[in-house]
């Protein structure tokens, strides 16, 4: 039986570059707060790979079908995965993720994500964060100006659309202003006691990219590398 997870408010499929697409959506964190959630879509021939999957209604599922066949589900962060079983079960998609996550343990991993294993599309690479308490990675598409897909580690808020009213009020006060940022809750949870992840973010800045789509917030169409560098500087300035 196909997983019957809730469908939360979301938009349509939008093209962001050749064979790269996105979908803005949302998810309830609790009965009162609904926050943004984004899905990336990569087309390779007639195959689609869903990055940080978000379940959608029938109309938008039909939009996906027009783009291609859903063949791969790619989980970049261990705290995302509620909708992965739906796409794996309904479409027979392969599940790609880093091993070792304890938050979402289904569906079983078919292909392990790492920095050296082949991906289901060309001109791409996985960046693995080392030293985190749970696995987390980012995906770089080396085409044109470069597009970086992240999960929770790096987020961008150009505006607060797809957050409900209470979330819009709360976000600036809990560390999520309208800017590019290192996820503050993620950083706290993922940093081992007595350690720092600053070196990992400095290593991430060695990648070349100009566009950013995180699992939360809004698309940053250009200037992403400089924005991420500012975010990293700010996240770690008080820890020196």
Q: Which CATH class is domain 13-237?
A: alpha beta
List the 211-213 sheet strands across, edge first. Answer: 124-128, 137-141, 147-149, 211-213
41's enclosing H/E stretch is strand 34-44
Report the C-alpha gap between 216 and 8 in whole angstroms.
14
The pLDDT score that the predictor gives to residue 1 is 47
- pLDDT at residue 41 above 70? yes
Q: What are phi and psi of 37, to 5 degrees?
A: -155, 130
Q: Which residue's structure tokens are 């029938």? A: 58
The pLDDT score that the predictor gives to residue 4 is 80
Q: What are phi and psi of 137, to 5 degrees?
A: -145, 175
- C-alpha atoms less than 13 angstroms from C-alpha of 65 in its C-beta half-sphere: 9
SS3 content of the chain, % helix, strand, coil (to 5): 25, 30, 50
Q: Tens of pLDDT along 54-73?
A: 999 999 999 999 999 999 99
Q: Tens of pLDDT along 84-111?
A: 999 999 999 999 999 999 999 999 999 9
Distance of CA 182 to the CA centre of its chain: 13
pTM of the model: 0.96
Cβ-based neighbours of 68, under 8 Å, separated by 6 or more: 43, 45, 46, 47, 48
Which ranges constitute the DSSP H helices of the chain?
A: 58-67, 84-91, 165-170, 184-190, 198-204, 224-237
- How, if at all, do strands 124-128 and 211-213 pair? unpaired
Q: Tens of pLDDT along 173-231?
A: 999 999 999 999 999 999 999 999 999 999 999 999 999 999 999 999 999 999 999 99
């Amino acid at each position: 039986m196909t997983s019957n997870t809730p469908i939360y408010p979301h938009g349509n499929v939008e093209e962001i570059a050749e064979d790269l697409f996105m979908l803005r959506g949302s998810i309830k964190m609790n009965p009162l707060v609904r926050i943004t959630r984004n899905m990336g879509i990569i087309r390779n021939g007639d195959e689609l790979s869903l990055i940080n999957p978000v379940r959608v209604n029938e109309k938008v599922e039909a939009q996906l079908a027009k783009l291609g066949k859903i063949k791969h589900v790619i989980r970049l962060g261990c705290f995302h995965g509620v909708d992965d079983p739906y796409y794996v079960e309904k479409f027979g998609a392969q599940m790609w993720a880093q091993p070792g996550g304890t938050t979402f343990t289904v569906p079983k991993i078919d292909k392990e994500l790492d920095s050296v294993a082949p991906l289901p599309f060309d001109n791409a690479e996985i960046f693995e964060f080392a030293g985190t308490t749970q696995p987390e990675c980012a995906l770089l598409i080396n085409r044109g100006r470069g597009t970086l897909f992240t999960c929770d580690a790096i987020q961008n808020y150009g505006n607060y659309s797809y957050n409900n009213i209470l979330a819009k009020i709360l976000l600036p006060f809990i560390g999520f202003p309208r800017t590019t940022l290192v996820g503050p809750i993620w950083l706290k949870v993922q940093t081992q006691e007595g350690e720092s992840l600053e070196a990992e973010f400095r290593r991430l800045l060695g990648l070349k990219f100009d566009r950013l789509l995180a699992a939360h917030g809004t698309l940053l169409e250009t200037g992403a590398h400089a924005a991420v560098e500012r975010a990293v500087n700010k996240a770690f300035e008080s820890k020196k």
